Amino acid sequence: MTILIFFILGLIIGSFLNVVICRLELTESILGRSHCPHCKALIRWYDNIPLLSFILLRAKCRDCQGKISWQYPLVELATGIVFALTGYYFFNASEFQSWAVTLFYLVSFALLTVVFVYDFKLMEIPMIVLWAGVIWAVLYLVFLDWSSFNLADGRMSSEIISGIIGGGAAFVFFFALSYLSKEKWMGYGDAYVALWAGLIMGWPGILLALMLAFTIGAIWGIILIALKKKELKSQIPFAPFLSSGLILAVFLEKIYPQVEYWYGVFK
């Protein structure tokens, strides 16, 4: 039941993220009703149902028959799945802390989805979304440390320190890659996404996220070369791999806490 509620919530948020992505592209306000990008006709409420409308309308606008992009159902479905998994693995209605954790991941994953799609389409990082994510992560880490503070012995967790070390290390690494390659291998924007990822994963968790990101990137690169869509030298946006590697790492750490033994080497 929880999974279904989170899945449907994800579909709805995914639908909203599509609007955010398109309006960021056109630098329009994110308020106001959605309209067809071809004929500008307002979209009827019954044509605006996540996933279903795309299938029922057979990917065409009801007014002008203009094509509806695959981006819409794919982002909705992906957000639905990620939200369902977050609800399943992190949410427990009777535990206050789990509400905070779940809310933190849902917002972070939604923002990461926007960065993923935007960079994939336009090879550019939407900085406003990125900074929103960074601030959100810092607030969450401060909250974790604050809520763990024990008056009796003055102890508290040091999530913020772990986050700053993880984020700082990832930022320096990607910044160096961009600088040394004159932005051929990586862009400076990727360094900021890496900083954000490091805040979320902490140290040494960020290493798992980066390892997954490079693995996904390598597999994707091989597929593109095999399909002859890209040459070895051509540029591929990296933020999609960083964001998917990060999301995967968050779940892996939760499902297999044993991966932390592997980190032991780096501690």
Contact residues for Zn ion (CB under 5 A)?
A: 36, 38-39, 61, 63-64, 66
Of residues 71 and 157, the one with the C-beta less far from Zn ion: 71
Of residues 38 and 44, the one with the C-beta less far from Zn ion: 38
Of residues 61 and 110, the one with the C-beta less far from Zn ion: 61
- Tell me phi and psi for residue 97, to 5 degrees: -55, -40
Of residues 44 and 155, the one with the C-beta less far from Zn ion: 44
- Tell me phi and psi for residue 150, to 5 degrees: -110, 110
Of residues 36 and 100, the one with the C-beta less far from Zn ion: 36
CB of 16 to Zn ion, least distance (A): 20
- What phi-psi label fits residue 99: left (phi over 0), alpha (psi between -120 and 50 degrees) or beta? alpha
CB of 44 to Zn ion, least distance (A): 12
Of residues 19 and 252, the one with the C-beta less far from Zn ion: 19
CB of 28 to Zn ion, least distance (A): 17
Q: Give the DSSP letter of residue 157.
A: -
Asked if residues 169 and 207 have their Cβ atoms less than 8 Å apart, the reply is no
CB of 61 to Zn ion, least distance (A): 3
Asked if residues 187 and 238 have their Cβ atoms less than 8 Å apart, the reply is yes
- Tell me phi and psi for residue 103, to 5 degrees: -60, -40
CB of 120 to Zn ion, least distance (A): 24
Q: HEC profile for 18-56?
A: HHHHHHHHHCCCCCCCCECCCCCCECCHHHCCCCHHHHH
CB of 37 to Zn ion, least distance (A): 8
Residue written as tokens 């320190």?
161
120: tokens are 């994939």
Asked if residues 113 and 17 have their Cβ atoms less than 8 Å apart, the reply is yes
CA atoms within 13 A on the CB side of 252: 18
